[in-house]
Structure 1
Amino acid sequence: MADEFSLRCWGVRGSTPTPGSSTLRYGGETTCFEIQAGDALVLVDCGSGARNLGTELCKSGPRSFDLLFTHTHLDHICGLPFFKPAYDPRFAVTAWAGHFQDGTSLVDIVSRIMSPPIFPVAAKTLKAVEFRSFTAGDIIPRADDLVIRTTRLNHPGGACGYRFDYRGKSICIITDHEHGDPEVDAALPEFVRGADVMIYDAMFTDAEYQGFKGWGHSTWQKAVQLAREGNVKTPVLFHHDPRRSDDELDEIGLAAENAYPGTLIASEGMILRP
């Protein structure tokens, strides 16, 4: 386990879960990542994909891990009420968020969705979870060899990107994000510089984007552009539009591969090892 460094996708869809025959190959669950770095476990976001992840974690027995949120829109937190380890006091889950632009806290948001009449079980039942905050741009404090850097993203209400560096390898997660903010855009190439894997919000195509400016999402063409500017080895297109079928994602994948060889389309169950 000491040399293991990997990212597994448990949910790759944006905005809302999309079960159905047209999303079977890439998957319909919303954002959830599992990162292994030696003996360390870090999860990113708790969308609907977190339900299945939680079931698997419970099979392995209690442990401690961090849960990082890119932001707290519903598609990124809707799995938390169904995440079994959060209710088990034998686990120790440190939940972090750093995107807030006002006095809101992570526990405030979770308490809103986990309260009657929205949900019958209160947030106080999450016995294993400790809620903590940081400011986008901080380094998450740790006592092991995994370094977690953060950066501000452009998304309604704020969002945070993450970079994981472990023993000379690196994974970046840049979602949810809309290109077009000069300050944020200027910082991103350096943040992802030399990354082995870069997850990027590619919800739209350039042609579609004109009708969705301000929605907080980017395009696969911008993913390729950022990968080229930052000398990223493997860009991974993510946060698939809920309207997007598997066949349409195949077409985007082919175009992106032609534009930047090595580009991948994120799929549920995909495991990436830098």
Structure 2
Amino acid sequence: MSFAVKFWGVRGSIACPSPQHIEYGGNTSCIEIKADDHRLILDAGTGIRCLGQDLLKAGHKNSHLLLTHTHWDHINGFPFFTPAYIPGNSFHVMAGHLMDVGGIRQVLASQMANPTFPVPLEVMQASLTFEDFRGGEDFSFNNGIRVFTKPLNHPNGATGYRIEYNGKAICYVTDTEHVIGAPDQNVLALIEGADLVIYDTTYSDETFKEKIGWGHSTWQEGIRVCQQANVKRLALFHHDPEHTDDMMTEIEKLAVEKWDKVFAAKELMTIEV
């Protein structure tokens, strides 16, 4: 039984296609979790376009799309997700922060409405199901996948996910802002004992104080909470677009010096748990 994550977009804020962003990648947040034949998609940043092409080649027609939140960098790839335009395909789209403000379908439809996009959501011919829940609710899928959620500290709200399958756990915790000196209890509860945590490490402790209120965390805080929660491995994620390949390599080096269970996520990297 296989359980793995593949990174299709690891950047935050805005895509950055440039010669200085090749090794780690320039697409925004999108990861794919493979649990044997089932695939979960988490977030629909620009990385989902290439994921969509991969699904077409594999002939994969059905997936759940779980969204952490709906800031642009996490949804602006959705209109370019080709499998959603193909009749016979089926996608179940879920979000945990919009129940009281119109719901996920409305947000995605608004993104594709005039005058900001040429074709409406209704052009997508796949069977699309939209479901809103509240962060903190848990649910299961028919093939033994269990999903646990927690609300995160982010402007307009966000949801963290813990995906369990065959006795293993992968956690996706972005975008979230910590409070200095007070580990987030929602995060700690969500990631306890996980095999892999993908965590928002946009900033460092040195730059964080200037960005309080922006909704992101640091690589040092990622290490602190993962060590406290007995996590096996930590993936640095949601890289600042200003962080070039050379800068990311240095950040990863500094992080590994503090804890050898850390690595920086790279586009197209696959990790088995």
Bin the TM-score by the shorter chain. over 0.9
Shift of 1:139: 1.1
Q: Tell me the TM-score normalized by structure 2.
A: 0.96
Question: Which stretch has the larger CA shift, 179-188 or 239-248?
Answer: 179-188
Q: Which amino acid aligns with 1:70?
A: T
Question: Which stretch has the larger CA shift, 198-207 or 99-108?
Answer: 99-108
Match of 1:18 in 2: 16
Shift of 1:181: 9.2
Measured at CA, do residues 223 and 183 of structure 1 come closer, stay the same or move farther in structure 2, by a change above 3 Å? closer
In the alignment, the residues of structure 1 paired with residue 191 and residue 202 of structure 2 have an alpha-carbon distance, to the nearest angstrom, of 19
Match of 2:232 in 1: 233
- Partner of 1:223, secondary structure, is helix
Shift of 1:101: 6.4
Match of 2:167 in 1: 168
Match of 1:259 in 2: 258
Residue 92 (structure 1) aligned with residue 63 (structure 2): no
Question: Which stretch has the larger CA shift, 209-218 or 93-102?
Answer: 93-102
Shift of 1:184: 8.2
**What CA deviation, in whole Å up to 9, does each residue of 1:52-87 have, x standing for no partner?**
110111112252110000000000000110000111
Match of 2:75 in 1: 77
Please, what is the CA RMSD of the aligned residues? 1.5
Shift of 1:190: 2.2
Shift of 1:18: 0.3
**What CA deviation, in whole Å up to 9, does each residue of 1:142-181 have, x standing for no partner?**
2221111111101000000000111111100000110129
Measured at CA, do residues 60 and 18 of structure 1 come closer, stay the same or move farther in structure 2, by a change above 3 Å? same
In the alignment, the residues of structure 2 paired with residue 180 and residue 104 of structure 1 have an alpha-carbon distance, to the nearest angstrom, of 29
**What CA deviation, in whole Å up to 9, does each residue of 1:18-70 have, x standing for no partner?**
01111100000000011111221110001000101101111122521100000
Give the conservation status (yes or no) of the 8 Å contact 1:35–1:43: yes
In the alignment, the residues of structure 1 paired with residue 198 and residue 31 of structure 2 have an alpha-carbon distance, to the nearest angstrom, of 10
Shift of 1:216: 0.2
Q: Tell me the TM-score normalized by structure 1.
A: 0.96
Measured at CA, do residues 215 and 203 of structure 1 come closer, stay the same or move farther in structure 2, by a change above 3 Å? same
* Structural mapping, 1:1-274, within 5 Å: 3-100=1-98, 102-128=100-126, 129-180=128-179, 185-274=184-273
- Partner of 2:211, secondary structure, is coil
Give the conservation status (yes or no) of the 8 Å contact 1:101–1:158: no
In the alignment, the residues of structure 1 paired with residue 104 and residue 3 of structure 2 have an alpha-carbon distance, to the nearest angstrom, of 28
In the alignment, the residues of structure 2 paired with residue 34 and residue 122 of structure 1 have an alpha-carbon distance, to the nearest angstrom, of 26
Shift of 1:88: 1.0
Give the conservation status (yes or no) of the 8 Å contact 1:86–1:126: yes
Q: Which amino acid aligns with 1:139?
A: D
Matched positions, count: 272
In the alignment, the residues of structure 1 paired with residue 38 and residue 99 of structure 2 have an alpha-carbon distance, to the nearest angstrom, of 29
- Partner of 2:184, secondary structure, is helix
Q: Which amino acid aligns with 1:235?
A: L
Structure 1: state its 5+ residue gaps: none
Give the conservation status (yes or no) of the 8 Å contact 1:67–1:94: yes
Paired-residue identity, %:
40
Shift of 1:127: 2.5
Q: Which amino acid aligns with 1:203?
A: T
